[in-house]
Structure 1
Amino acid sequence: MTATLAAAVEVVPSPDLELAEKTSALTVQETIPETGTETTTGQIPPHRSHDPQYNMKRTDPFMFGSRYLDEGDDVFEFNAWDHVETDDAYKEYSEQQFAMQRASPVSDFDKNRFNSDPARFWNLFYKNNTANFFKNRKWLQQEFPVLHTVTAEDAGPKIVLEVGAGAGNTAFPILAHNKNPKLRLHACDFSKKAVEVMRSHAEYNTELMQADVWDVASEELPPGVEENTVDVVLMIFIFSALSPLQWERAVRNIHRVLKPGGEVCFRDYGRGDLAQVRFKKGRYLEENFYIRGDGTRVYFFEKEELARIWSGVFGEETSDSEDKDGTSEATPDPDSQEPSAIKAESPLFDIEELGVDRRMLVNRAKKLKMYRCWMQGRFRKK
C-alpha cells in the first residue's frame, strides 16, 4: 500500500509536506528477527505482497488501507502500515514533548503577531511554494464517494465549494475527472497569493470554476455563493489553520451555504501526529495549537472534539472554571484562543462518518518508525 500511503502524505498542503520523509530522534528502534525465525505462511495475502499488481486502492472511505501489522511481522518489510496504534515508548516520549512545549510557549508579543494577521504568513508560504500546487489527488474520490456523484455526466447542476489553505489543490483534480457539464466549482482561500496562483494556472477556466479570497471565519459568504446552494464542501487540511475562536463562525458559514442534506468532506491533523510531537520550544500557542517555523498556525484534533464541533457544540463543557492545571480563574483570558462552551440552538450537522487514520511510516534503511495521525469525516447538514 505504499502508493496509497504516498497519496495520503502528498495531500497535506502545508509546511509539513516533507515531514514523513525525515527521520528524528523521537522514532523508536525496532529489533529485527534473527535469520530463520521469521514467520512463514503457505501463501502471502495479496495486500501483503510486494507485487505491484496487488497494491490495491482503498474502496471504503474509512478502511484506510488493509496492511495490518500483526504479531510476529517484520515491521520493516514494508514502507508503511495501516491502523497502527502508537507503542508505549512513543506515547511516553510524546507526553514528555507536550510537557516541554507547554513549559515554553510562544511569547505574548509573538502570540499577538501570529494571531492578528494569519493570512500574511500563508501569503508568504504560497509565495515560496507555488510549485506544490495542483497535484492530482487521486485518493479524494476514493475516500469521498459523493465526488463521484456530483461529477457524473448525468448529475445535473451541482456546486462544489473548496475552502482551504491552498484551495485548488483538490479543486483542479476534480475538474480533471469531471464529466458533468453543469458542475460549478468555487475555490476560496484566505491567502491572496494562493488565489493568484490558482487564477494564473493553465487549467483555470472561468466557465467551470471561480477562485476568490475568502476567510471561512469571516462575517460574509464567499463571492458568488448564496445560502443553501452548495452541494458539497471540501475542507482538506484547512480547519487546523484556524484559531479555536474561529471554529463556530466557520462551521456556521459552511452550514449557511450548504443545501439541506449537503455534505462536508473533511480531513485534517489528529492529536499525537508526528508533526505535533516534533515541535520544539517556543511554538506552543494553546493546547494542541502551534506556530510553525514559517509563522503559519496548526491545530491537532481529537475525534470527540470534532464530533462536538460539527454537531454544534463549540468549546468543552465543564462543570466549573478550572483550567488544565486544576486552578480556577475568576475571569476568562481575553488573549486565549480557546472558546467558551456554546451550544447551537439545534444540531447543525449529522456525523455521517468520523474516523482516525493512523499510519506508521517506516525508514527501512535506518530501521526507524514514524507515526502519523489524521482525522477524516463526512458531515451532513440537517
Structure 2
Amino acid sequence: MADPCLEDDPAVQGRKREPFGTRFLSDPSRVFYHNAWDNVEWTEEQAAAAERKVQENSAQRVCQEKQVDYEVNAHKYWNDFYRIHENGFFKDRHWLFTEFPELAPTTNQNHLKDLILENKKDEISDYQNSKDGPGLTIEQPKCSSTGLGHKTQTPPEEETVPQKLSHLQICADKLPGSSATYRILEVGCGAGNTVFPILQTNNDPGLFVYCCDFSSTAVELVQTNSEYDPSRCFAFVHDLCDEDQSYPVPENSIDVIVLIFVLSAIVPEKMQKAINRLSRLLKSGGMMLLRDYGRYDMAQLRFKKGQCLSGNFYVRGDGTRVYFFTQDELDTLFTTAGLEKVQNLVDRRLQVNRGKQLTMYRVWIQCKYRKPLPPSTT
C-alpha cells in the first residue's frame, strides 16, 4: 500500500528540500516563492473551522453492510488502485534521506551495525541453540550458522514441536538476505517508491531490503521493475493485519522497519497488534520509521458526508480507506509495543501550487521509535 494522492508526497514537487522545520514563511507576500513552507501556525479560527468540518463530514456513517465489504474486499480495492495507477502515477521519494537518514548509506556505519559486529560471535552461538522465528524450526547441522540468527528464550523442549513451514521458511540460510549485515523491511511498499531509491543510493554489499504489500498487484509491479534485484531485495505479499500469517524473516533480525502512509490504511482496532508483531522483528536498537496522515489534514477536510467509517477513519471513492492520526495515538501504539520514542513530530506544511496560485494545508506526522538495547552485563 502507498499514499494514493500525488500531492501527499513532497517529492511530487520534483525538488530536493531540506528537512522539514527549516523553511519558514515570515513574509506572506512570498508565499508562492517556494513549493512548501514548514511549521505553518494555524490561527484559532482555522483550527476551529477544521474541527467543525470534521464533525460535519463524520456525522453520517457508512452503513454496516458496506463497511464489511470494504474490509473483506480490501485486497480487491487496492489491487484495482494499482492497476489503474501503475503508469506515471508514482514518483520516487527523494526526500527519504533528508527525513530518514537511517535509510541512507551512512546508516550502515551507525551504532546498530557496530552492535551487530561486536556481538556476532555470541549471536551465532545462541543461534545454533535457538528456534529461528515464528513457524521456523532450525535443526543443526542442516542449516549454516551464518543465517538470520537471533537470541531467544525458547525452552529446548519446544524446539522439537513439528512446525508447518511455508516455501519461504525452509531454512534460515536459504532465505533471501541471509548473509546481510544490515536489513531494512518496508511494510506497504506500493510500487517501490521507497525501495528503489534506497537500492539506487546504497551500494553496500551488506544491505538487504525486504518489502511487502497487501496488494499482489503492487508486489508484482515491484518485482517486474527493471531496478528490482533479487540479490539485494525480496518483495512478497503480506497482510500485516493477519495474525496467523508469519513474516518470512525471523524475529530480532531487522535493523529498520519503514511504514510510509500504510498504517492509516487499516482498521484502527487492528493497528496495535500489527505494530506489536512488527516490533518483534526488530533487533535490539533497531528503528521503526513512520510517516502518515495527521489530524485535520487537507485530505480529511475534503471528505463528504457519508464517507466516514468511524472516528477519523474514511473510505475514498475507490474503496481504499484512510485514518488521520494524532501524535498521542501513535505514541501509544509504539510504546505499548515496547519501543522507545526518538522522534514524534507534526509536519504542518503549507504546500503551494504556484501555477494555479493555490495553497493547501497539509498535516503529516513523522515518528521514529527504537527497540531498547538489552541491559548491559558489565
- Could you tell me which residue of structure 1 aligns to residue 371 of structure 2? 381
Q: Is the 8 A contact 1:162 1:168 kept in 2?
A: no
SS of the counterpart of 1:228? coil
Q: Does residue 244 of the first structure (1) align with residue 268 of the second (2)?
A: yes
Separation in structure 2 between the aligned mates of residue 364 and residue 151 of structure 1, nearest angstrom: 39
- Could you tell me which residue of structure 2 aligns to residue 261 of structure 1? 285
Q: Is the 8 A contact 1:20 1:370 kept in 2?
A: no
Q: Which amino acid is 1:290 matched to?
A: Y
Report how far residue 242 of structure 1 moved.
1.1
- One of 10, 14, 34 as aligned partner of 2:3: 14
Separation in structure 2 between the aligned mates of residue 147 and residue 70 of structure 1, nearest angstrom: 32
Q: Does residue 111 of the first structure (1) align with residue 135 of the second (2)?
A: no
- Could you tell me which residue of structure 2 aligns to residue 331 of structure 1? none
Report how far residue 147 of structure 1 moved.
1.7
Q: Is the 8 A contact 2:313 2:323 kept in 1?
A: yes
Report how far residue 291 of structure 1 moved.
0.2
Q: Is the 8 A contact 2:189 2:195 kept in 1?
A: no
SS of the counterpart of 2:6? coil
Q: Which amino acid is 1:359 matched to?
A: R
- One of 99, 103, 107 as aligned partner of 2:55: 99
Q: Which amino acid is 1:192 matched to?
A: S
| Bigger mean CA deviation after superposition, 182-191 or 83-92 | 83-92
| Bigger mean CA deviation after superposition, 164-173 or 231-240 | 164-173
**Match runs of 1:12-51 below 5 Å:** 13-18=2-7
Unpaired stretches in structure 2, ≥5 consecutive residues: 114-179, 373-378
| Bigger mean CA deviation after superposition, 92-101 or 280-289 | 92-101
- Could you tell me which residue of structure 2 aligns to residue 179 of structure 1? 203
Report how far residue 15 of structure 1 moved.
2.8
1:157–1:226 Cα change, 3 Å? same
- One of 318, 325, 340 as aligned partner of 1:301: 325
1:267–1:280 Cα change, 3 Å? same
Deviation by residue 1:210-267 (Cα, 9 ceiling, x = unmatched): 1100111222565531111011111111110111111122111111111111101110
- Could you tell me which residue of structure 1 aligns to residue 258 of structure 2? 234
Report how far residue 14 of structure 1 moved.
2.9
Separation in structure 2 between the aligned mates of residue 255 and residue 243 of structure 1, nearest angstrom: 19
Separation in structure 1 between the aligned mates of residue 217 and residue 190 of structure 2, nearest angstrom: 9
- Could you tell me which residue of structure 2 aligns to residue 276 of structure 1? 300
Separation in structure 2 between the aligned mates of residue 293 and residue 151 of structure 1, nearest angstrom: 42
1:220–1:209 Cα change, 3 Å? farther
SS of the counterpart of 2:87? helix
Separation in structure 2 between the aligned mates of residue 221 and residue 160 of structure 1, nearest angstrom: 20
Q: Which amino acid is 1:195 matched to?
A: V
Report how far residue 286 of structure 1 moved.
0.8
TM-score normalised by the chain length of structure 1: 0.72
Report how far residue 180 of structure 1 moved.
1.0
Q: Is the 8 A contact 1:119 1:191 kept in 2?
A: yes
1:102–1:57 Cα change, 3 Å? closer
SS of the counterpart of 1:353? strand
Report how far residue 74 of structure 1 moved.
4.2
1:268–1:125 Cα change, 3 Å? same
Separation in structure 2 between the aligned mates of residue 262 and residue 127 of structure 1, nearest angstrom: 34
Report how far residue 190 of structure 1 moved.
0.8
| Bigger mean CA deviation after superposition, 75-84 or 237-246 | 75-84
Unpaired stretches in structure 1, ≥5 consecutive residues: 1-11, 22-54, 313-346
**Match runs of 1:1-382 below 5 Å:** 13-18=2-7, 57-58=17-18, 64-70=20-26, 73-132=29-88, 135-148=91-104, 149-150=106-107, 157-164=181-188, 166=190, 168-220=192-244, 223-312=247-336, 348-364=338-354, 367-382=357-372
Separation in structure 2 between the aligned mates of residue 224 and residue 366 of structure 1, nearest angstrom: 47
Q: Is the 8 A contact 1:217 1:253 kept in 2?
A: no
Report how far residue 193 of structure 1 moved.
0.7
Report how far residue 355 of structure 1 moved.
0.6
SS of the counterpart of 1:131? coil
SS of the counterpart of 1:249? helix
SS of the counterpart of 2:58? helix
Compute the RMSD of aligned alpha carbons. 2.6
Q: Is the 8 A contact 2:58 2:307 kept in 1?
A: no
